[in-house]
C-alpha cells in the first residue's frame, strides 16, 4: 500500500491518500489540544498509544457486529482505514456526570445518572462545536433519518461493549466521543477511540486516566497514557 498525498491534517492526526481510492492511511501525532485549540502541547508517544489502542478496540467492536473503518494496523503510528465521508457530528455517550455536562447543568463530577445520555455536537470549530438535537440534525441535513437511527444504535452498542471491556482492565468508562462516516452509503464507526476521546477513571482510586490530565495540568500525562495502553494489552 503506497502512502500518497496528505488530504487532511487535524489536531491529532494526518490522513493520506493511498494508491487505492477506497483506502486511507491515518497517521497519529503527539500534538494535543484542548478547549477548542485554546491550549496546545505535546504528549510524548501519544500517537503510538492512540493508534494501537484504537486498533485493538475497533477489532473488538467489529467482532461485536459494529462496522468500523479499521482495515489493519501498518506501523506504531499508522493504520490503514476505509475512506469515509465523516458525518459532521460528535456523538457523545455519558455514563457518569463529568466535563461540560457537569458544568452546563451544575452537577458534581462523578455523580451517577438515572439514564445513559446520548448527545450530539455539531462538528464545527468556528462555532465551537455547539450542542444540537435530532431535529437540528435533520433540519440542517447533517444526516438522514436512517443514518441518525444507525448512529444511535451503534453508539449504544459501542458503550455496552466498551463499558465491559474497560471494567475488565480496572477502568470506569465515564463518557466518550465517537464519530461516524459514510462508506458506500453505509454508516460506519470512524475516527479514534483513545484516552483523548474517552474519560476513564481507575475503578479503585477514581484517578483520572485520560486527557483530563493534560487539560487540567494534573501531571503524569505520558505515564498515564502508557498505563492505559499497558492495561488494554493485558
| 77 binds ligand UDP, rule: CB under 6 A | no
Angle at 49 between CA 101 and CA 174, to 5 degrees: 25
State the minimum distance, in angstroms, from the CB of residue 119 to ligand UDP.
8
Residue number with CB closer to ligand UDP (101 or 166): 101
CB atoms within 10 A of CB 1: 13
| 92 binds ligand UDP, rule: CB under 6 A | yes
Coil, strand or helix at 5? strand
Binding ligand UDP (rule: CB under 6 A), the pick from 29, 69, 208, 211 is: 211
State the minimum distance, in angstroms, from the CB of residue 214 to ligand UDP.
10
State the minimum distance, in angstroms, from the CB of residue 198 to ligand UDP.
5
Residues in 159-188 that interact with ligand UDP by CB under 6 A: 175-177
CA distances from 49 to 55, 79, 94, 151, 155 (A): 10, 12, 23, 26, 23
CB atoms within 10 A of CB 155: 20
Residue number with CB closer to ligand UDP (89 or 188): 89
The owner of cell 455536537 is 121
State the minimum distance, in angstroms, from the CB of residue 24 to ligand UDP.
20
Q: Per CB under 6 A, which region of 77-85, 96-104, 133-141, 217-225 contacts ligand UDP?
A: 96-104
| 194 binds ligand UDP, rule: CB under 6 A | no
CA distances from 208 to 96, 119, 205, 228, 229 (A): 13, 22, 9, 11, 14
Amino acid at each position: 500500500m503506497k502512502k500518497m498525498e496528505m488530504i487532511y491534517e487535524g489536531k491529532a492526526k494526518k490522513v493520506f491518500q493511498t494508491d487505492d481510492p477506497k483506502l486511507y492511511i491515518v497517521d497519529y501525532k503527539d500534538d494535543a489540544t484542548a478547549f477548542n485549540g485554546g491550549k496546545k502541547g505535546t504528549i510524548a508517544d501519544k500517537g503510538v498509544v492512540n493508534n494501537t489502542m484504537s486498533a485493538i478496540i475497533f477489532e473488538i467492536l467489529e467482532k461485536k457486529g459494529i462496522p468500523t473503518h479499521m482495515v489493519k494496523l501498518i506501523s506504531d503510528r499508522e493504520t490503514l482505514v476505509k475512506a469515509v465521508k465523516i458525518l459532521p457530528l460528535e456523538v457523545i455517550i455519558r455514563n457518569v456526570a463529568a466535563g461540560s455536562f457537569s458544568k452546563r447543568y451544575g452537577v458534581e463530577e462523578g455523580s451517577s445518572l438515572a439514564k445513559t445520555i446520548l448527545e450530539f455536537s455539531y462538528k464545527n470549530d468556528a462555532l465551537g462545536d455547539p450542542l444540537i438535537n435530532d431535529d437540528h440534525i435533520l433540519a440542517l441535513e447533517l444526516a438522514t433519518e436512517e443514518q441518525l437511527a444507525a448512529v444511535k444504535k451503534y453508539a449504544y452498542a459501542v458503550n455496552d461493549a466498551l463499558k465491559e471491556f474497560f471494567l475488565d482492565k480496572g477502568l470506569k468508562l465515564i463518557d466518550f466521543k465517537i464519530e461516524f462516516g459514510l462508506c458506500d452509503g453505509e454508516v460506519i464507526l470512524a475516527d479514534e477511540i483513545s484516552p483523548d476521546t474517552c474519560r476513564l477513571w481507575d475503578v479503585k482510586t477514581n484517578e483520572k486516566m485520560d486527557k483530563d490530565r493534560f487539560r487540567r495540568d494534573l501531571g503524569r500525562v505520558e505515564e498515564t497514557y502508557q498505563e492505559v495502553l499497558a492495561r488494554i494489552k493485558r
